[in-house]
């Protein structure tokens, strides 16, 4: 069962849309966070009930998108981008580094359940290839040293160096977190001065139209 906090977050997200179906992808992220990184059937049914959608629709959507896992995965998910621009700059070597270090093949999880290694398609960071998404963070310019440093830190339960997020989100999408949990901070930001509407002479709109 999802926690009250998770249900509250889903309800908060629902307010952003004219219908509850639009909140489905965000709600699946919330559920995936709740269920430890993947979506068992039970989680899909709960989301369906919460959003008042058919089970089949929720399953159809969850199975369409590559970021929802319908089978258990390791605690840490290492996703190396191997699409051509990355591959041209050595993504294949980066995959080998992780394979060697973890002793698993692509698509496999280590025996202790700590790491799953995957290849994924373009992550839009081709300038810093080889790169990988590991849990919630992108890691850039990956070589053997860096790959080992990352795995070492994650094995100790620490955030690796050069992570994008300071906070550990456990691989969950930040949309599954409330503002407070994410540390959204607007303290010290004061409302701006209101604008003063400038009255225009009657011919002004005609001018603008002529200019266009």
Partner 1 sequence: MAYEDEPKIIHQHINVPDIRKIGVYEANGGYSAWRKALSEMSGDEVLNEVKASGLGGRGGAWFPTGVKWSFMPKPVFPKYLVCNCDESEPGTFSNREIVLKHPHILLEGFMLGCYAIGCNHGYIYVRGEMMKGYAVLRQALAEARARGYVGKNVLGSGFDLEITLHTGAGAYICGEETALLSSLEGDRGQPRLKPPFPAVAGLYAKPTSVNNVETLSNVAYIIREGADAFKQYGTEEKPGMKIVSVSGHVNRPGNYECPVGTPIRKVLEEYAGGVWKGKELKGFYPGGSSTPMLGPDKLDTPLAPKAIEAAGSILGTAGLCIFDEDTDIVHVAARLIRFYKHESCGKCTPCREGNDWLVAVLRRLDEGRGKDGDLDMLLDMAGNIAGRSFCLLGDAAAAPVVSSIKEFRADFEKRITNPPDEKIFIPLSIANGH
Site for partner 1 in 175-194 (CB under 8 A): 175, 179, 182, 184-186, 189-194
Count of C-beta atoms within a 10 Å radius of residue 92: 14
**Considering only 3-11, 34-42, 142-150, 174-182, which stretch makes contact with partner 1 by CB under 8 A?**
174-182
What is the three-class DSSP state of 49? Answer: helix
Nearest distance in Å: CB 138, partner 1: 7
What is the closest distance, in whole angstroms, from the C-beta atom of residue 94 to partner 1 in the complex? Answer: 13
Run of H or E residues at 77: strand 76-81
Residue among 18 and 202 whose Cβ is closer to partner 1 = 18
* Minimal distance, residue 150 CB to partner 1, in Å: 16
Query: Residue 73 in contact with residue 64, Cβ under 8 Å?
Result: no
Site for partner 1 in 141-160 (CB under 8 A): none
Q: Residues 8 to 67: which contact partner 1 by CB under 8 A?
A: 16-19, 21-26, 28-29, 51, 53, 60-61, 64-67
Give CA separation, 29 vs 24, 96, 122, 166, 182, in Å: 9, 30, 21, 20, 15
Q: Using alpha carbons only, how large is the chain's radius of gyration in Å?
A: 23
């Amino acid at each position: 069962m999802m926690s009250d906090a998770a249900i509250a977050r889903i309800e908060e997200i629902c307010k952003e849309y004219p219908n509850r179906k639009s909140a489905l992808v965000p709600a699946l992220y919330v559920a995936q966070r709740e269920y430890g990184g993947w979506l068992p059937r039970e989680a899909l049914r709960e989301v369906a009930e919460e959003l008042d959608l058919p089970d089949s629709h929720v399953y159809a959507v969850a199975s369409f998108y590559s970021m929802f896992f319908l089978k258990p995965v390791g605690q840490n998910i290492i996703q190396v981008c191997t699409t051509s621009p990355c591959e041209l700059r050595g993504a294949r070597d980066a995959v080998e580094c992780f394979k060697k270090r973890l002793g698993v093949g692509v698509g496999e999880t280590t025996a202790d359940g700590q790491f799953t290694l995957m290849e994924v398609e373009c992550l839009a960071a081709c300038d810093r290839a080889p790169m990988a998404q590991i849990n919630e963070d992108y890691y850039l310019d990956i070589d053997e040293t860096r790959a080992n440093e990352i795995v070492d830190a994650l094995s100790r339960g620490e955030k690796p160096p050069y992570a994008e997020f300071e906070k550990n989100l456990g691989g969950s999408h930040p949309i599954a977190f409330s503002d407070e949990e994410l540390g959204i901070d607007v303290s010290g930001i004061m409302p701006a001065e209101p604008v003063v509407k400038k009255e225009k002479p009657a011919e002004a709109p005609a001018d603008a139209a002529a200019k266009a």
